Amino acid sequence: MTHGRRFAHPPHPEAIPLSLYVHWPWCVRKCPYCDFNSRRAPKLLDEEAYVDRLLAALDRQIEAAGVRGRTLRTIFIGGGTPSLMTPEAVGRLLEGAAARIRVAGDCEVTMEANPGTADAARFAGFRAAGVNRLSLGVQSLSTPILKRIGRIHDADGARAAIRAARSAFENFNLDFMFALPGQTLEELEGEVAEALDSGASHLSFYQLTLEPGTAFGKRPPEALPDEDAAAEMGDMVESRLARAGFERYEVSGYAKPGRRCRHNLNYWTFGDYLGVGAGAHAKWTNSEGVWREAGERVPSRWAARVDAGGTGAVRRRIPLEDLPFEFMLNALRLVDGVPSGSFRDRTGLGLDAVEPVLGRLRAEGLMADDPGRLAATPRGLRFLSDLQEAFL
Ligand SMILES: C[S@@+](CC[C@H](N)C(=O)[O-])C[C@H]1O[C@@H](n2cnc3c(N)ncnc32)[C@H](O)[C@@H]1O
Ligand code: SF4
């Protein structure tokens, strides 16, 4: 039975870029603000067995999604702290992926790293294994602040990791957080200056959010900057980076020309992606619909599911009526939004599905008044979650 008829404008899956996300769910220890699927690594961690299961799950997902004939444009090894892996395991993972599905010659291969697990030899090993972009979680360059947010490294450790990143990678990102406990605008200005001096091609500045269920969510730290102070910090970051040639292209993402993160851009433009590992997400399009998989989050349960012959994940088709929200949730994070035509190409729905809401949001000045684009205005970006929810 085919449900293809249910699309008003059936998408062409082979024209949708395909990525791969691999999740490594362990860290040295859990940071108190973090709600990613991560936990302290056990003493005896069998990375060989984890990589074997990643590849078994990938094989089955490629089959289930019917994407064997497509080409991977980007790969992202995220976490957790994937820099806990040995370069040998990373090499085996990347070779194993390439043995199962075609990988583009210019594939962007990113790996996340924590400065507490970094040294130059290790980074060189990752580079030799096929990683060509590193994303380093610096968070702050103030030792007292790093202590307050429970990081495993101090400021000099972060600086050493930045030097190691620069020695091994031409293309690297640094993650910072701001509006951190006890942080002042002047301190943050100093960090921005160091970030601009670091040789990074991409910078991410995330405002600290207190996530429910985390240690900080339950018991907020003292001396948090208030909303006005946080907004002032965000404005300062944006203008300083712009002056230095880093364009803000996403809510928290800044890049030098040509250095936007292609993997994340594929998420935000509602592209397709395979996803393997504990807690990993996948999304793909075929003639029957748009599908999602959500991986079991607990590593031992994920492993048991894979050993039983599955992908370790729960699969579901996204109901057609949910597609507009899912599309906008991603697209509106981009400062320039997306071309209007991509709504139809990626969701299989006509723009008439969102026309009334779109009209209202344009009239309210939350979305750009441009029929050729779907984009938030600067005001819309500031109230992004309200804007996204309008499409629910
Ligand atoms: C999965 S972590 C990747 C890096 C690595 N695990 C590390 O922490 O060094 C992704 C990034 O999200 C940001 N982040 C995590 N939790 C956050 C929160 N509660 N508020 C704001 N940013 C957060 C941090 O900048 C972090 O580097
Ligand atoms: S190291 Fe990164 S992923 Fe791990 S707990 Fe800390 S912020 Fe989360």
- pLDDT reported for residue 217: 98
- Residues of the chain with confidence (pLDDT) below 70: 1-5
Nearest-angstrom CA–CA distance, 347 and 8: 9
Our mutation pick for probing the ligand 1 site, out of 26, 175, 188, counting the most ligand atoms within 8 A of Cβ, is 175
Instruction: Give 26 Cα–ligand 2 centroid separation in angstroms.
Output: 8
Ligand 2 in reach of 79 Cβ (< 6 A): yes
> Which pLDDT belongs to residue 6?
78
If you average pLDDT over every residue of the chain, what do you get? 97
Give the number of the atom of ligand 1 that is nearest the alpha carbon of residue 33: 19
Give residue-wise pLDDT tens across range 61-92: 999 999 999 999 999 999 999 999 999 999 99
Q: What is the pLDDT of residue 3?
A: 47
Distance 32 CA to ligand 2 centre (A): 9
Full set of structural domains in the chain with CATH: 4-266 (3.20.20.70), 336-392 (no CATH)
Is ligand 1 within 6 A of the CB of residue 87? no
CA of 236 to the centre of ligand 1 (A): 21
Atom of ligand 2 nearest to the CA of 137: 2
